[in-house]
Structure 1
């Protein structure tokens, strides 16, 4: 079984980015889920080009792969978590989120990232479902054009509570957009446990043709809380076995954004847990680093 493990920088926000990347390489991770945010690689900083080149060199020197993630809480608006979104009633606000995602595609291309992650956002009060889907499709069109030019897929994540919350919602968006080639899926294993009707391993199988990025953590049914491995309900060996069977070769990134206070230790225990879960599948060990 080949499993390329990464850890999300949104769970290492108390560390400088150079230090976080060094830590992950030392622990044996294959890559990093790099959230564009003010404390690491700020997508709005005036020295973005130079900093992106520095990060690219650092990743290359450490032998780390990368996915670019865009779930920073306050990167666009210091007063609104994840605001503005692709569903914002204000066209200029939606355009700001679209511009951020287009910029993320450019950064991903410079870093050699295998995907750019995003999500829809929640439906604003007073907005009909049809209007929200129309806004989402329109706002993503320039991002998908940029992704096609860059050769970097856009991987949208079903997020509990958002307009696009489930795998069925992802397929609805695909249909609305005419199934564009650059549009792929971020599958969060915990979200499958939380919300999907099928078990997480079956979700992996169902998602396989569109899988471009994977996030992983423990979770409980009906509770959207990212938990360290062993604190939730997920049986991981079947999930990892299903993931290997898809032929997915991108990163599988540990996603613990509320645990930065214990980030270095959780990064260590998480990779140990996942290596042991792979061994328990009886199909080999994770790929050597």
Structure 2
């Protein structure tokens, strides 16, 4: 029904428990998901993970008959300066998320581009250095688990909130295999152009999130904002992008009852452009 390159993030149905969200996604016609593991945003993956929980989540996804493209996680503010105990706790959390990523057969773990604030903890340059260093170290750990590490390098609410900061972060990752996740909604909400984003980062884009937006507002269903999906998708194709896409419909303009139909309608529209 939909493009085989198009999946749906479980964040789209974060109001449901994981088994129910997966059943809803499958019933809507999707075969692939991104798995939300963002404490306080999407609780489909508990913050405290152990081997039994990893096995339980893996079994739930397997029983739902869905593939997992990526795990969208968070290990804390990557631009925060940590003491030894805090660093040990962060590394333990990273290891558990990587175990989960490998166990569900996902290609990559996705981590944020800094804290949920535009203001650096120290200077912007120091904070960007710290975020890049943490992502590179996480990427090294990911490789040991046989998976990749990606980052959503432009996130409207986080440290790298605009195109200039995304450029600065990605320049610091130039010699690493850390991939970039492109999110149409965050780009447009920041006042930037998806086509320019593709032209800037095309050789590093590993995955694409889809949601509509207006300047300053990322929470719109596809077709209700100002995102030029056709132009952005054409630019990706022209740049040689052959990866996958995920509807991350964390929207606030439909009711929960309307959400499955909105997701299917969005999938049909995006599939027609791919």
**Aligned residue in 1 for 2:63:** 58
Q: Say which of 30, 45, 48 aligns to 1:44.
A: 48
Look up the match of 1:211: 205
CA distance 1:248–1:110, change in 2 (3 Å): farther
Distance 2:120 2:161 in 1: 17
Match of 1:187 in 2: 182
TM-superposed deviation, 1:112: 1.3
The residue aligned with 2:232 is 239
* Aligned partner (choices 251, 262, 265) of residue 272 of structure 1: 265
Cα 1:6–1:54, aligned 2, differ >3 Å: closer, same or farther? same
CA distance in structure 2 between the partners assigned to 1:253 and 1:125 by the alignment: 30
Residue 108 of structure 1: how far off its partner (Å): 1.1
- CA distance in structure 2 between the aligned counterparts of 1:125 and 1:190, rounded to whole angstroms: 23
Alignment correspondent of 1:81: none
Is there any run of 5+ residues in structure 2 with no aligned partner, and where? none
SS of match in other structure, 1:48: helix
Aligned-partner Cα distance in 2 for 1:137–1:40 = 27
The CA distance in 2 between the partners of 1:165 and 1:22, in whole Å, is 34
Partner of 2:78: 86
Give the TM-score taking structure 2 as reference length: 0.81
Superimposed CA distance per residue, residues 201-257 of structure 1 (whole angstroms, 9 cap, x where no aligned partner): 342343321111211111112x03321112211122222333344444443222233
Shift of 1:148: 2.0
Mind listing any 5+ residue stretches in structure 1 that lack a counterpart?
77-83
Counterpart contact for 1:12–1:20, Cα < 8 Å? yes
Compared CA separation, residues 225 and 123, structure 1 to 2 (3 A) = closer
Matched residue SS, 2:230: helix
Q: Match of 1:229, SS?
A: coil
Aligned-residue offset at 1:272 = 1.7
Write the distance in 2 (CA, Å) between the matches of 1:44 and 1:140: 21
Alpha-carbon separation, structure 2, partners of 1:144 and 1:274? 31
User: SS of the counterpart of 2:245?
Assistant: strand
Give the RMSD, CA atoms, in angstroms.
3.0
Shift of 1:101: 3.3
C-alpha distance in 2 between matches for 1:102 and 1:45 = 10
Matched, 1:70 2:73: yes
Aligned mates of 1:264, 1:145 — CA distance in 2: 42
State which of 151, 160, 163 in structure 2 corresponds to 1:164.
Answer: 160
Task: After TM superposition, list the pairs within 5 Å mapping 1:1-289 onto structure 2.
Answer: 4-36=5-37, 39-46=43-50, 47-58=52-63, 62-70=65-73, 84-91=76-83, 92-93=85-86, 96-119=89-112, 120-121=114-115, 122=117, 127-157=122-152, 158-181=154-177, 183-197=178-192, 199-221=193-215, 223-257=216-250, 259=252, 262-263=255-256, 265-279=258-272, 281=273
Query: 2 CA distance for matches of 1:132 and 1:216?
Result: 28
